[in-house]
Amino acid sequence: MANDASAVFDTLSPAVSKGSLADPFTPPADSALWRKNFLLGAATASYQIEGAVNEDGRLPSIWDTFSAIPGKVLAGDTGAVACDHYHRWEADIEMLASLGLEGYRLSIAWPRVMDAAGVPNRKGLDFYKRLLNRLKEKGITTFVTLYHWDLPQHLEDRGGWLNRDTAYRFADYADLMSRELAGTVDAWATLNEPWCSAYLGYGNGHHAPGLANDRFATQAMHHLLLAHGLAVPVLRANDPASQKGIVANIGRGTPNSDSAADQRAAHLFEVQHNAWILDPLLKGSYPQDLFELWPGTEPLVLDGDMETISAPLDFLGINYYFRTNVASDGAHGFRDVPLEGVERTQMGWEVYPDGLRDLLTGFKKTYHNLPPIYITENGMASDDQVTDGHVDDTQRISFLKRHLAAVDQAIKAGVDIRGYFLWSLMDNFEWAFGYERRFGVVHVDYSTQKRTVKHSAELVAKFLKERKARA
């Protein structure tokens, strides 16, 4: 079969496998990517791939509710079936392993594993146990995110992340999961991208639960970070051998001109995207400039919260996608000024690998206690088509190569970066953009659920095979 994952090593595009074309992916000989202990993997998230939303006692999440509201998600798509991974997980792990990927970052669906009273749901837990045991059997390093945005709806009904109690419910959930799964998880990430949960969920309403108020966003952020801080010691107690961390998305903001106002705007952009999360985690305080941008939005912080939030981490997960060019909005903040003539992806996001390097080297200067870093997501969407059993995702190959070069440059500049996860293993439910935006290195035909390995994944597999052979 032309492009079955299991046969991937035999199906490299003829020109590449014969070596008649320069391989457009393989990193240069001096790249840190050749180091065997630099982990290369792929990432997914529960709601984006699992489907089976009503099975085995899973409760509704805020994304079931949100995606059912007309107009919230492109084309009215929902995660009800997604990649049907809940039923196809075995073949999906075979595919991951056949590509030679060494790490897999997945997330657990909180509504699958416990009910409103905190009673464990055995069937849901068993799903993750089977999955993680199989990954261990395959020798794949497992990064497990506890919260990748699918909050149980019953918690949202009681205020969601605006309710401080949700942070304590999260710690209970972390307790259950780390007792049940200890030994099968190499690294726990408490939250995925609290910026998106707080700002897109409660600040501008583009994501579930769809509320739009800056004051809500700062309070939701505080409760999310508190949830993280409460969970870390629980994870440490129950599963001491694993690493504990959190995943933050970071954004590069560049000034549209040399004017002081535009420079300030770019600074505020990065405060809002990066320091809002990283300062509390690594410095134990919120950046005061945030409240210049959003006056009067200081969250309610109780005694001891900042100490809880800033407890040391074993690793920091970084997700990076693009930069934003900004100018002053003439008042407190910034406005986007999209650049003309730059390379963009299917999302309209600018391809800007230097942003990743510059942010990482900048963090090393700003945060003296910066933990070891894993790039927990990086990738791009393209309108990929299967032609004669092949997917030629040329732009993605070049995107990955350039971003991995940026990672290598940051490593050479002294940043401790230990691994990189492609977003994503396969095309999936891209939140408000539904299934139209394809981020996978494996193509999914949603009418048949057929997986087709894209050319990018073939080249990553080829590199990993070579690296292994040299070790």
Active site residues: 193, 377
Strand 334-336 and strand 315-328: pairing?
antiparallel
CB of 147 to ligand FCB, least distance (A): 11
Query: Which residue lies nearer to ligand FCB by CB, 176 or 422?
Result: 422
Taking CB under 6 A as the rule, does residue 107 contact ligand FCB?
Answer: no
Query: Which residue lies nearer to ligand FCB by CB, 142 or 319?
Result: 319
User: From the list 294, 315, 399, 431, which residue makes contact with ligand FCB (rule: CB under 6 A)?
Assistant: 431
Q: From CA 451, how far away is CA 430, in angstroms rounded?
A: 17
Site for ligand FCB in 433-462 (CB under 6 A): 439
CB of 319 to ligand FCB, least distance (A): 6
Site for ligand FCB in 288-347 (CB under 6 A): 319
Query: Which residue lies nearer to ligand FCB by CB, 173 or 429?
Result: 429
Taking CB under 6 A as the rule, does residue 192 contact ligand FCB?
Answer: yes
Cα separations in angstroms, 9 against 118, 137, 210, 368: 46, 21, 44, 43
Binding segment for ligand FCB (CB under 6 A), chosen from 188-196, 212-220, 235-243, 323-331, is 188-196
Taking CB under 6 A as the rule, does residue 423 contact ligand FCB?
Answer: yes
424 prior amide bond cis, ω within 30: yes
Query: Which residue lies nearer to ligand FCB by CB, 48 or 141?
Result: 48
CB of 52 to ligand FCB, least distance (A): 18
Binding segment for ligand FCB (CB under 6 A), chosen from 96-104, 190-198, 367-375, 461-469, is 190-198
Taking CB under 6 A as the rule, does residue 142 contact ligand FCB?
Answer: no
Query: Which residue lies nearer to ligand FCB by CB, 4 or 384?
Result: 384
User: From the list 45, 99, 140, 359, which residue makes contact with ligand FCB (rule: CB under 6 A)?
Assistant: 45
Query: Which residue lies nearer to ligand FCB by CB, 173 or 322?
Result: 322
CB of 196 to ligand FCB, least distance (A): 5
Cα separations in angstroms, 257 against 333, 337, 339, 352: 15, 11, 12, 18
| Dihedral (CA of 77, 78, 83, 87) sign | negative
Binding segment for ligand FCB (CB under 6 A), chosen from 189-197, 300-308, 382-390, 441-449, is 189-197
CB of 195 to ligand FCB, least distance (A): 9
CB of 240 to ligand FCB, least distance (A): 28
Site for ligand FCB in 238-297 (CB under 6 A): 249
User: From the list 196, 278, 290, 404, which residue makes contact with ligand FCB (rule: CB under 6 A)?
Assistant: 196
Site for ligand FCB in 356-385 (CB under 6 A): 377
Query: Which residue lies nearer to ligand FCB by CB, 8 or 318?
Result: 318
| Dihedral (CA of 425, 45, 171, 370) sign | positive
Question: Nearest 5°: phi and psi at 376?
Answer: -90, -10
User: From the list 92, 150, 193, 393, which residue makes contact with ligand FCB (rule: CB under 6 A)?
Assistant: 193
| Dihedral (CA of 81, 118, 173, 160) sign | positive
CB of 424 to ligand FCB, least distance (A): 7
Query: Which residue lies nearer to ligand FCB by CB, 156 or 193?
Result: 193
User: From the list 401, 430, 435, 444, which residue makes contact with ligand FCB (rule: CB under 6 A)?
Assistant: 430
| Dihedral (CA of 127, 131, 136, 137) sign | positive
Query: Which residue lies nearer to ligand FCB by CB, 12 or 200?
Result: 200
Determine the size of the site formed for ligand FCB (CB under 6 A). Answer: 12
CB of 29 to ligand FCB, least distance (A): 31
CB of 48 to ligand FCB, least distance (A): 6
CA atoms within 13 A on the CB side of 320: 30
Taking CB under 6 A as the rule, does residue 11 contact ligand FCB?
Answer: no
210: left (phi over 0), alpha (psi -120 to 50) or beta: left
Q: Which residues bind ligand FCB (CB under 6 A)?
A: 45, 48, 192-193, 196, 249, 319, 377, 423, 430-431, 439
